Amino acid sequence: METTDAIDAFAALAQPTRLEAFRRLVRAGPEGLPAGTVARALETPANTMSTHLAILERSGLVTSRREGRLVYYAASFDRVRDLVGFLIEDCCAGNPDMCDAITGIAATARCC
Amino acid sequence: METTDAIDAFAALAQPTRLEAFRRLVRAGPEGLPAGTVARALETPANTMSTHLAILERSGLVTSRREGRLVYYAASFDRVRDLVGFLIEDCCAGNPDMCDAITGIAATARCC
DNA sequence: TCAATATTTCCAGTATCGTCGAAGTATGGA
DNA sequence: TCCATACTTCGACGATACTGGAAATATTGA
């Protein structure tokens, strides 16, 4: 991952509506959710949400696919992994006991 | 972690100078680096870097301590863990095989 | 007490971003 | 072909952010 990619991803998440939308997509899993469903859930006008989802997609954090007249957006877990990896790259440089804090991510996220 | 805390943290990382500064602090480990060292490494004026480090500190991503006339800044690994945990919270909702992507974070980061 | 070093705060100019009304595009059904 | 639904793009206003010169603060040593 390049620095500019990481900047785009963090900027995408640094906005309340987009962060909340992304977290909903994370919880929705791989199938994702239609744009309209996200917009209604967050009580945001469709065009505003469309702009936000487009920004999330350009950042690589979500993907989209059309099904009939619905456009489904889904979180990209691979991208999240790469982003976090980029952020903490070489954090312990061969010093395993230094990063206990990091290994607890899954537990903190109630993940897996 | 509250949504506003996460917004502040992502906003702090969504800026090239700050992101690079933070990554240097991550590699520097728990001791951290003096403000001036970071400023010179990134070829950024001291006052500009001071502003950026203050933003990182307010976001909780770094901590600071004074040692003589030097102010050391250090990355907060706990905060990173909480931030990532917040982002992917409930990503697999009892579906362990769904989040293979996440479990590879440590490997991606060459961590531990 | 004075000077040098390290860092922070103040301030203002420029640029970028979030929002949403209005108009445009795409899909499916009648 | 026409209409309704779903979503996106355009455009412009107001708000917020990045930068760095200048001045202020903190620490150490002479």
| Nearest residue (CA) to C1' of C21 | A47
B112 in contact with A at a CB cutoff of 8 Å? Answer: yes
pLDDT exceeds cutoff 90 at A110? no
Q: Which two tokens stand for residue A30?
A: 């791989």
Contacts of B88 in chain A (CB under 8 A): 26, 77, 80, 109, 111
Q: State what percent of residues in chain B have pLDDT above 90.
A: 79
* Whole-prediction pTM: 0.95
The whole-number pLDDT of residue A94 equals 61
The pLDDT of A9-13, averaged and rounded, is 98
- Taking the CA of residue A50 and the C1' sugar atom of nucleotide C30, their distance in angstroms comes to 29
**Are residues A99 and B93, on separate chains, in Cβ contact within 8 Å?**
no
A17 in contact with B at a CB cutoff of 8 Å? Answer: no
CB contact residues (below 8 A), chain A span 70-99, against chain B: 75, 77-78, 80-82, 84-93, 95-96, 98-99
Identify the H or E element spanning B78.
helix B77-87
Whether residue A6 contacts residue B19, with contact meaning beta carbons closer than 8 Å, is answered with yes
Domain hosting residue B51, numbered range: 3-108
Task: Note the pLDDT tens digit of each residue in B21-55.
Answer: 999 999 999 999 999 999 999 999 999 999 999 99
State the nucleotide closest to A71 in CA–C1' terms.
D7
Residue A48, amino acid: T
Whether residue B48 contacts residue B17, with contact meaning beta carbons closer than 8 Å, is answered with yes
pLDDT exceeds cutoff 70 at B94? no
CA A53 centroid distance within chain: 11
**Are residues B111 and A95, on separate chains, in Cβ contact within 8 Å?**
no
By DSSP bridging, strand A70-75 and strand A62-67 are antiparallel
Domain count of the fold of chain A = 1
Task: Note the pLDDT tens digit of each residue in A26-81.
Answer: 999 999 999 999 999 999 999 999 999 999 999 999 999 999 999 999 999 999 99
Q: Which two tokens stand for residue B11?
A: 């906003």
B58 in contact with A at a CB cutoff of 8 Å? Answer: no
Which CATH number characterizes residue B26's domain?
1.10.10.10
